[in-house]
Amino acid sequence: MLAVRRTLVAVTAVAAAVAVAAIAVVLLTAGSGRPSGPGPAWPNNSNPSEGASPATLRLGFVVGIPQAPALVGLQEGLFANELRGTGVVLRPVPFRTDAAEATALASGQLDAAYASASSILADVGNPEGTKITIVSGATRGKATLVNLVSTRAFLAAHSADVEDLIRAQIQVNELLNHNLLESSAAYATELTALTGQRLTASSIGESLARTSFTDDPSAATLNASVPTSLTPVVRPALPTLYDVAPLDLFLRMAGERPVTT
């Protein structure tokens, strides 16, 4: 089990209802990155591996509601707060699509990522891929599963920093589940910073309210997502895909139930 360095700081907030007409999920268009340089605005414009160093944590995510924990956590400073003083610089790497993120993850251009079931299975089924470990859940729905993953190489070299990500992930899901108003505003601000796209916080809130955010990585859901063609390769690897001992410890410290895999 990974070593624990700090006590988890739980985020508490008052729940707020937001009622507006539902918005359609749209394909994001390219925009300008934030001045502080979170990495490439979109990976087809520059290489996420450029400028990487042992002190850089390249965190991938797809810009969209299913991966809202990444956008809200960045805007609220939860990842940065947990990594403060570690000497590790967080570098967000946003993507348009799951396929683009999966390619970057498998080719070693990311250290950690919010990854869909399809991205996880693509990496596990690719003999030349960067093998990953699932360290926390993020989002789960009827047709959606997003987990927080780390490459095994980064986890071996920076286990304490992965713990920081897990703590931040627990905090951001707490915020998403208990303060829809603040979460919606944070998502809207981060969306504009990353892509230039502007949506109202109230319209985003409607989509967030229909999404289930959970720290449980839901192994059963991932197992059910394995296509028949990948079954011989992927299913034997699934039991070794999880390292949730730190997640369980942090959840217990916050008075929450541990997850199951």
Write out the two tokens for 75.
């805007």
Instruction: Provide the mean pLDDT of the chain.
Output: 81
pLDDT tens string 191-203: 999 999 999 999 9
Q: Which residues pair with 150 in a beta bridge?
A: 112, 133
pLDDT tens string 32-79: 333 333 344 455 444 555 445 558 999 999 999 999 999 999 999 999
CA distance linking residue 244 with residue 246, whole number of Å: 6
**Listed residue (213, 137, 204, 144) closest to 173, CA to CA:** 213
- Write out the H or E segment, with its range, that includes residue 177: helix 159-178
Mean pLDDT of 139-167: 94
Neighbours of 2 (CB within 10 A): 16
For residue 261, name the pLDDT band (cuts at 50, 70, 90): low
Domains of the chain: 56-253 (3.40.190.10)
CA distance linking residue 99 with residue 123, whole number of Å: 11
pLDDT tens string 229-258: 778 878 888 888 999 999 999 999 988 888
Mean pLDDT of 137-162: 93
Amino acid at 30: A
For residue 227, name the pLDDT band (cuts at 50, 70, 90): confident
- Write out the H or E segment, with its range, that includes residue 245: helix 245-253
Is 90 exceeded by the pLDDT of residue 184? yes
- Write out the H or E segment, with its range, that includes residue 219: helix 219-224
In degrees to the nearest 10, what's the CA dihedral of 19, 22, 33, 91?
80
Share above pLDDT 70 across residues of the chain, in percent, rounded to a whole number: 79
Residue 165: which region, alpha, beta or left (left: phi > 0; alpha: psi -120 to 50)?
alpha
Q: Where are the beta strands (DSSP E) in the chain?
A: 56-62, 89-95, 112-116, 132-140, 145-151
For residue 20, name the pLDDT band (cuts at 50, 70, 90): very low
Compute the Cα dihedral for 188, 65, 123, 120 and give only its sign.
positive
For residue 25, name the pLDDT band (cuts at 50, 70, 90): very low
The DSSP secondary structure of 27-71, one letter per residue, reads PPPP-PPPTT--S-SSTTTS-TTTT--TTEEEEEEESSGGGHHHH
Would you say 190 and 80 are in contact if contact means Cβ atoms under 8 Å apart?
no
Would you say 115 and 102 are in contact if contact means Cβ atoms under 8 Å apart?
yes
